[in-house]
Amino acid sequence: MPCRIRLIDFGFANAYLDEHGIHIQQVKKRLFQGNLLFSSCDSMCMLNTSRRDDLISLCYMMLFLQKGKLPFIETNHNMTSDEEFIHIRAKKKSLRPTDLCISKESESLLKFMTEIFALKFEEAPYYDKLRFMLATELTEFNQQPYPDIFGRCFEEQKFHMRHDLEYSEDVEECP
């Protein structure tokens, strides 16, 4: 029987349309709030987020579920929270979908992720196309979940899984 995963987290949800139905503008926020593993680079640069950023977070989540790790995570317990934040943000800024999808498992997500990472802040995602792309790509690659995704790998990564971290903009300006 296939496994169903439902991802639900509205902890930092915000409206992407204003009271007049116009898409919000991208502006600088005072604080970062989110999960270091799954936040988009724009979110980590303390910019407000849109639907695109939610989809980028989904991409990071799917990569994590496939492999049990992400390429920008290094277990270094000697890093301070600020150092870890700066390190992860810099890595995310430098990585493109082709850099993220280098394994056989993640290759199935390349077209999907390329489409999402190309979206502009205010651009409306074509959800039907994205659903079709994802279903087609995963079917073509006969994807199976990472065998021990909820065991060993979660324990290794829990150092990075802190939720609701807040970093003020004085951590370091986003280059």
Chain segment 156-169, per-residue pLDDT in tens:
444 444 434 444 44
Chain segment 15-63, per-residue pLDDT in tens:
888 899 999 999 998 888 888 889 999 999 999 899 999 999 999 988 9
Nearest of 98, 116, 115 to residue 107 by alpha carbon: 98
For the chain, list the domains and their CATH numbers: 31-167 (1.10.510.10)
pTM, whole model, 2 decimals?
Answer: 0.78
Tell which wins on pLDDT, 165 or 73.
73
Q: Which amino acid is at 155?
A: E
Note the pLDDT of residue 142: 66
| Per-position DSSP letters for 116-163, written without gaps between them | HHT--TTPPP-HHHHHHHHHHHHHHTT----TTTTTHHHHHHGGG---
**d(C-alpha 24, C-alpha 140), whole Å:** 37
| DSSP-based three-state secondary structure for 51 | helix
Chain segment 97-137, per-residue pLDDT in tens:
999 998 887 888 999 999 999 999 999 999 999 988 888 88
With 0-12 / 13-18 / 19 or more C-beta atoms within 10 angstroms meaning exposed / middle / buried, residue 22 is exposed
Q: Which residues pair with 28 in a beta bridge?
A: 47
